Amino acid sequence: MKELGVAVVGLGAMGSQHARFFKNQVQGAKLVAVVDQVKAVAESVGAELGAESYTTIDQAVRDERVDVVCLATPTYLHVSQALYALEYGKHVLVEKPMATTLAGARQLISKAKSKRLKLGVDFMERYSDAAASLKSLIEKGDLGKLFLIEGELKWWRDEKSYYLKDELARSWRG
């Protein structure tokens, strides 16, 4: 099977993690490019991970080595960037949420189907060691019959870089 070339777009906290993940942990995938609008960031991460560095998604989708575009950009950009990548024949993995509206999500799904391309939304915790361990305990019945599970996840978000960056983020109650 051909190794899939991956470009990660957006090298903030999540995008940088995705790039490292594709570089070191995903069999059948090869990190070939990283994209960030801040040239120094793209160049630094690209040099560290041995990937081409770009400052626009346009450069990445035109790179013939790229089969998959992983979007870790602000939510309001997901639909336009994913449609752009799909139009260029690239499979797309997008950070959640996939879109800010149901119409946008449906548009992405329709485009991916019409192009016969894969469109995925990243749910990184689904396959984490903690989730796998909990799933195993539940399936074995080690926790008894469950009626309700309540959990708490502590997640650090820098207010300046996350909640204040765009209208959608500012509208959330965090």
Note the pLDDT tens digit of each residue in 24-64: 888 899 999 999 999 999 999 999 999 999 999 999 999 99
- AA letter at 79: V
Give the tens place of pLDDT for each residue, 1-21: 789 999 999 998 889 989 998
Q: What is the DSSP string of 132-169?
A: HHHHHHHHHTTT-S-S-----------TTTTTTSSHHH
Cβ atoms within 10 A of the Cβ of 91, count? 19
- Sketch the domain layout of the chain as residue ranges: 4-124, 128-171
Class of domain 4-124: alpha beta
Q: Which helix (H) or strand (E) holds 95?
A: strand 91-95
Rounded to two decimals, what is the model's pTM?
Answer: 0.76
How many Å is the Cα radius of gyration of the chain? 18
